Amino acid sequence: MVRTPDSADFYAGKRVLITGGLGFIGSNLARALVGHGAEVLIVDSLVPEYGGHLRNLHGIEKKVRVNLADVRDHHVLPVLLEGQDVLFNLAGQTSHLDSIQDPETDLEINCRAQLSILEACRRHNPGIAVVFASTRQIYGKPDYLPVDEKHPLRPVDVNGINKCAGEWYHTLYHQVHGLRTCVLRLTNTIGPRMRVKDARQTFLGVWVRQLLEGRSIEVWGGAVARFHPRGRLCGRPAARRAGPGGGRPGVQSRGRERVSLADLARLMVEVNGAGRGGAGVPGRAQEDRHRRLLRGLDAHPRNLGWTPRTALPAALRRTLAYYRKELKHYL
Ligand SMILES: NC(=O)c1ccc[n+]([C@@H]2O[C@H](COP(=O)([O-])OP(=O)(O)OC[C@H]3O[C@@H](n4cnc5c(N)ncnc54)[C@H](O)[C@@H]3O)[C@@H](O)[C@H]2O)c1
């Protein structure tokens, strides 16, 4: 969520619609908004292959309203949008591989439905503020790092192309119709309630599962490396900072720093050990480095008033702690 010093006041009493609100990001957002006193309506189709899960609302079930509907059904949109102040438009098909294997579905959800949603806003609720979740994937293989907004767009899969179109529709509806839209390009996000069943949402999810089940994490790069839960490195580490697909970077953490996949796997193993008995806690120096990088974002010229508050080791620790208790609900 975009946090400004007065965001708590802003959302108190506001009516907020979250499409995809049973998913990873949407449910965490719903939780935060409920905490700020917003009236939250969630719309989600709960397709099993996607990240939506009723368990994601555990503890706030009675504080939000849920409408099981599909945003591809344009007949339901006017009713859902009626009286809403803010729309967090998060419903999406997120798997890059699925978008190649079933491009039509990706097109329907990530492109066509976005146009329908914007049309419904224009006709039935033109005052609504809309936040659209796009993806860093639209940049494709980066020319330079860290990637910034000036980087050329070069999507490498159907999902990236449809997400680009979704973005452009949101921008166009602002320019032409004056709708209050904005677009966020999200990158590998991690946290409680992410999909861990498989790698459909992100490879990080399946790594969490593998670690908690005592299995090795496999990292693909210039060479394959395996990271054993007890911290043993099997095979050769990735020869360069590259992810699956050869030329991609590792995780670009907080938009400023790049963490190679091998380093990330190593960190996850360490953090997991820490949660199970105190061994392998990331060093103080490492924590301090991550905190300094977080502070560095404040200086970004396109700062939206949002400052990341959770360093990578802490985010991993929190995620692993959540799934240590909750994994059985998500498999
Ligand atoms: N998680 C990330 O790292 C990441 C990165 C970049 C972009 N994003 C974008 O952020 C948004 C949320 O992602 P997430 O990680 O929470 O994924 P998620 O799969 O957990 O959540 C998406 C939700 O949308 C719902 N949904 C899908 N199609 C729908 C439809 N036709 N009608 C109604 N609901 C539908 C799913 O059931 C799911 O609950 C997505 O648009 C995604 O593309 C996420």
Distance CA 248, CA 230 (A): 28
Same-domain status, 150 and 209: no
Residue 197 lies in a domain: no
HEC profile of 217-232: EEEECCCEEEECCCCC
Q: Tell which one of 137, 184, 186 to mutate to probe ligand 1, the residue whose CB is within 8 A of the most ligand atoms.
A: 186
Helix (H) or strand (E) holding 264: helix 261-275
Distance from the alpha carbon of residue 54 to the mean position of ligand 1, in angstroms = 14
Distance CA 6, CA 259 (A): 32
239: pLDDT confidence band, cut at 50, 70 and 90? very low
C-alpha distances (whole Å) from 226 to each of 57, 74, 264, 330 are: 34, 46, 12, 24
The answer to whether the CB of 189 falls within 8 A of the CB of 202 is yes
Same-domain status, 77 and 171: yes
Residue 75, SS3 per DSSP: coil
Q: Tell which one of 17, 90, 138, 206 to mutate to probe ligand 1, the residue whose CB is within 8 A of the most ligand atoms.
A: 90
Residue 198 lies in a domain: no
Structure-token match 């965001």, residue found: 7
CATH number at residue 75: 3.40.50.720
Distance from the alpha carbon of residue 222 to the mean position of ligand 1, in angstroms = 30
Domain count along the chain: 2
Model confidence pLDDT, tens digit, residues 100-133: 999 999 999 999 999 999 999 999 999 999 999 9
Residue 195 lies in a domain: no
The rounded mean pLDDT for the chain is 83
| pLDDT at residue 279 tops 80 | no
Structure-token match 């924590």, residue found: 287
The last residue of a domain, from among 158, 186, 214: 186
Could you list the residue range(s) of the whole structural domain that residue 17 is in?
7-186
> Which of 91, 133, 134 minimizes the C-alpha distance to 113?
91
Same-domain status, 218 and 87: no
Q: What pLDDT sits at residue 281? A: 39
Same-domain status, 277 and 305: yes
Residue 194 lies in a domain: no
DSSP state of 78: H
